[in-house]
Amino acid sequence: MKVDKVDIHLQKISSDIEHIKEITSKMEQHLEKLNGRVRANESKISMIFGVGIVSGIIFSGFITFLLIA
């Protein structure tokens, strides 16, 4: 009698653990997808930042040239 209850309880726990593993796997896949998007956006932001710096240097050089001349 008691052994049956223990077996039923163990089966339920095992089922719960399998469900948790499935959900965790889905979350990991979604996280990988989000990380890919973040990585792509970071590289685009870095490119825009670089263009801004170069534009600022060129603009500063031009203004300096006008002030000296």
Task: Write down the pLDDT at residue 6.
Answer: 86
Domain boundaries, the chain: 1-69
Q: How far apart are CA 33 and CA 27, in angstroms?
A: 10
Q: Per the structure block, which two tokens stand in for 2? A: 């008691």
For the entire predicted model, the pTM comes to: 0.60
* pLDDT mean over 12-35: 96
Q: What whole-number distance in Å separates Cα of residue 6 and Cα of residue 17?
A: 16
Q: What is the pLDDT at residue 69?
A: 78
As a whole number, mean pLDDT of residues 32-41 equals 95
Q: Is a pLDDT exceeding 90 seen at residue 22?
A: yes
Residue 21 pLDDT = 96
Q: Is the pLDDT of residue 52 over 90?
A: yes
